[in-house]
Structure formats: structure tokens, C-alpha cells
Amino acid sequence: MEQANLLKEITEKLPAFFCVAEKESGKVLMHNQAAASLFGDIQTISETGAEDIFRAATGEKIDGRFEYNAKIGSRWYWISNYPIAWSEGQKAEVFLGIEHATLRNFSDSVTGEFPEGMKGPVDVFDRLEKHVLGYKKGLCDAFTVSYLDIDGVKMVNDAFGESEGDTYVRTIIEVVRSSIRNSDIFIHVGGDDFLIIFPKCTHAVVENIMDVAVKKLDVINVEIQLDYNYSVSYGIFEVANDESADMDVIMSTLKQRMKDMKESKLQGRRGFYYLPSGSISSSKAI
């Protein structure tokens, strides 16, 4: 109880919703005023009306902090989710959500890793929104966007160490960057996720560009023959009419298409990282 009271006092005036929930049951152990204003006096995560958002993140989350963007109601939030030990070792999860409008106005005088860690989501929405508004106003041509997720980073880190994991991530980033044009905009969303804006590009052209990147990764896999494959999953969306020029439509479609590709790999057991026989787990796709 002392822990809950202290956290409540610390978080009560945060410009963000803060919620602690029991990991298995979703029972809310504490929440601040911002969470109460957004969700009401909730007793469980399911009462927020955003359970799918929270639980989807939990399902994808690896041990440690998981950061992602999500729409709650009519507003977009940057959410940080991480596990904690509650009273008497009770397993719980923290959900900290900051509205993007608040992030944009974050004071420049604030220093440290916290605002820097939020830079990606702010850049993504600001720069993408600029292109969407430009298209709507007739100031720029149709364009295409790709949302990219690097597969298997956690598995590489666990099996071979974080140094190897860093090399894995850097190599994929370099390959993707070498495959796109100088005019394309490459943005780190957070974690292992990236967004690329392709000005004056059709869906078909971007499909070819991403295919070239994947083929380059396949060449690396053949040449160096490690115990894992360099692999990415991505979604592509073209903004070419008024109906498609919508931030919610763009982001939700991109993420779903990226998840569909990842699921297809899981079903086909192709492209994902495999552990060799006799190690942690044989033929385990991620």
C-alpha cells in the first residue's frame, strides 16, 4: 500500500495517464487522475475500452520496456509498457501514456533520456502529418509509406549477446538505407520499428524497393551463414486520394499489413531466426 501511495503521489500531476495492472487478471492496482479522466474509475483493464490495445502490446512485448503508438478514442498516444514487481512479489505491468499533442509541446528545457526516448513517435506523426496535409492542400504529389519492424532482435540478443544484437540491427538499417533514395525519409519510431516516407512514389515502386532490401539481406544470410537470418517485416500504404489521406487509416493499415507479413512468416517458418539443434530451442521461429 505504501508503494501505491507513493506512486500515486508522484504520478498524480503527470501530463500522462499512469496505470498499474495485475499481469494475469488485468485488475487495476492503481491509476492517476489522468487515467481516471480518460477511462473513468476503472477496476480492470477491460473497463478502459482499450483492452485490445493494452493486451496486444503485452503479447508482443519482450522482457523490459515496450514502446508503441496507439489510438484511444479520437486521440493518439505514445505508450510505454513495462513489468514491475508489486507488493509481495505480485507481477504487474505499468502503462504510461502521453498524448502526442502534449509531446509536441514538451519543453526544450527538459533534458535527459525520457524526452529523447519519445522523439521517434513525435517525429513520425509530425512528419507524416505534414505530408498528409500537403497532399490534401495540393502542395505535394501522391506518396507511399512503409512501416518496418526488425524480426528476431530479442532472440539474437538472448542467444548471442547484445553486441551481436546491435550488429544485427545496424546491418539491417544500413541495408534498408542503402536501398532507398536520398529523398526518402527514414524515421526511427521506437524499439525495432521504423517508418519510411517515399515522396512521389507508388505502392508498386516501394514494393520493388523493399524487395531489393530483402534480397540484399538474403545474400548476407547465404554468405555469412550465421545461426539466424537477417529478416524484416513491413507494411506498405499509398496515399493517392482523399480517402487514403487520413492519419488513422494510414497507421492502422500499415501496422496491420506489417503484422500480416510477420504472421505469414510464422506460418511458413520462413525468414525468421532459427536456433540450431541442441541450443535453447530447435526450429523456433519468432
Of the candidates 82, 80, 87, the residue with the CA atom closest to the CA atom of residue 63 = 82
Of the candidates 129, 96, 126, the residue with the CA atom closest to the CA atom of residue 114 = 96
**Could you list the pLDDT tens digit for every one of the 286 residues in the chain?**
555 666 777 788 778 899 999 988 889 998 898 999 999 888 998 888 877 777 655 544 555 677 777 778 878 888 888 888 887 778 888 898 888 777 655 544 343 333 444 455 566 777 888 899 999 999 989 999 999 999 988 888 888 888 898 899 999 999 999 999 999 999 888 778 899 999 999 999 999 999 999 999 999 999 888 888 899 999 999 999 989 998 888 988 998 999 999 988 877 655 544 433 333 333 333 4
Is 128 in the same domain as 33? no
Is 122 in the same domain as 263? yes
Is 273 inside a domain boundary? no
- Cβ atoms of residues 124 and 54 within 8 Å: no
Is 235 in the same domain as 202? yes
User: Which residues have C-beta within 8 Å of that of residue 54, sequence separation ≥ 6?
Assistant: 21, 45, 48, 81, 95
Is 280 inside a domain boundary? no
Of the candidates 135, 225, 145, 247, the residue with the CA atom closest to the CA atom of residue 193 = 145
Is 93 in the same domain as 122? no
CATH of the domain at 49: 3.30.450.20
Is 153 in the same domain as 92? no
Is 158 in the same domain as 80? no
Is 123 in the same domain as 244? yes
Is 276 inside a domain boundary? no
Is 57 in the same domain as 158? no
* Residue 179: count of CB within 10 angstroms of its CB: 19
Is 132 in the same domain as 231? yes
Boundaries of domain holding 220: 118-268
pLDDT of residue 180: 95
Residue given cell 480492470 in the structure block: 44
Instruction: Give the Å distances, CA to CA, from 219 to 7, 41, 212, 222.
Output: 51, 55, 11, 5
Domain total in the chain: 2
Q: How far apart are CA 228 and CA 238, in angstroms?
A: 32
pLDDT of residue 285: 39
pLDDT of residue 148: 94
Is 192 in the same domain as 76? no
- Cα 167-118-3 angle, rounded to 5 deg: 105
Residue where one domain finishes, among candidates 104, 134, 164: 104
pLDDT of residue 181: 93
pLDDT of residue 267: 76
pLDDT of residue 127: 86
* Residue 176: count of CB within 10 angstroms of its CB: 25
Is 161 in the same domain as 233? yes
How does DSSP classify residue 49? T
Q: How far apart are CA 61 and CA 126, in angstroms?
A: 25
Taking the model in full, what pTM does it have? 0.64
Handedness of CA 247, 238, 199, 135 (dihedral sign): negative
Is 109 inside a domain boundary? no
End-to-end CA distance of the chain: 39
**H and E: helices and strands count for the chain:** 10, 9
Is 29 in the same domain as 161? no
Backbone angles phi, psi at 257, to 5 degrees: -65, -35
- Cβ atoms of residues 170 and 164 within 8 Å: no
Instruction: Give the Å distances, CA to CA, from 77 to 3, 15, 17, 150, 244.
Output: 26, 12, 10, 22, 21
Digit-coded pLDDT (tens) for 20-71: 999 888 899 988 989 999 998 889 988 888 777 776 555 445 556 777 777 7
CATH of the domain at 259: 3.30.70.270
**Stretch (H or E) spanning 238:** strand 232-239
Q: How far apart are CA 274 and CA 252, in angstroms?
A: 29
